[in-house]
Amino acid sequence: MVVEAARRSGSLITARFAGEQGREVFAVPGSPLDPRSEGTNGLLKQGATPVTDRRGCHRNDRTYSWQEHQCRFGGGSSTADARTSDIPPDGERTRLLALMGPAPVSIDDLVRYSNTSATTVRSVLLELEIAGRLERHGAGLVSLR
C-alpha cells in the first residue's frame, strides 16, 4: 500500500514490481494540488485499489484489514481483523475538533493542548483528511474546511 508518493519515488518502483508479480496494489488518494500525492493519484488512475477508510478496504469479495499501517488479506469482516486499539476514542476526536477551526493551527499545538499522543492526533487528522474536512498548510499547520 502506498500512502504518499511523489511522481518519481522509490515507493512507485516497489508498487510497480508488486503489480508485475500479480500482487494487489493499494493507494491512499491525496490532494490533486499536492505534489507529494502525484504518485499515489497516478497509481489510482492505473487501477490501484483506493483506500479511503482505515478500517478496511474491500475488493473482489475479499476484505483487507488495516493492520500495522498496511492492508493485508483478512478473509472476513474488516471489524473482526482491525486492531481496535489503534482507533482513537470519540472523546479524543471531539477534543481535537474543538481545538480546530478555519484558522490554521500547528499539529504540535494540537498534541500539546489536547493532552493526547501524537499518534492519536495524526490518526484523527488522517480521518479528517480522507473525509475531505482537513486543509493542510505549510510548516505543519492544519485547519478545518
C-alpha grid cell for residue 133?
474536512
**Distance between CA atoms of residues 41 and 2, nearest Å:** 10
User: From the CB of residue 6, how many other CB atoms can be counted at a distance below 10 Å?
Assistant: 15
Class (C level, CATH) for 88-144: mainly alpha
Residue 27 is inside which H or E element, if any?
Answer: strand 26-27
Residue 21 burial by Cβ neighbours in a 10 Å radius (0-12, 13-18, 19+): exposed
| CATH 1.10.10.10, the chain: domain bounds | 88-144
Per-residue pLDDT of the chain (145 residues; tens, 9 = 90+): 788 888 888 888 988 888 888 888 888 888 888 888 898 899 989 888 888 775 555 554 454 544 433 444 344 344 444 444 556 667 778 888 888 888 888 988 898 888 888 888 888 888 888 888 888 888 889 988 8
C-alpha grid cell for residue 85?
486499539
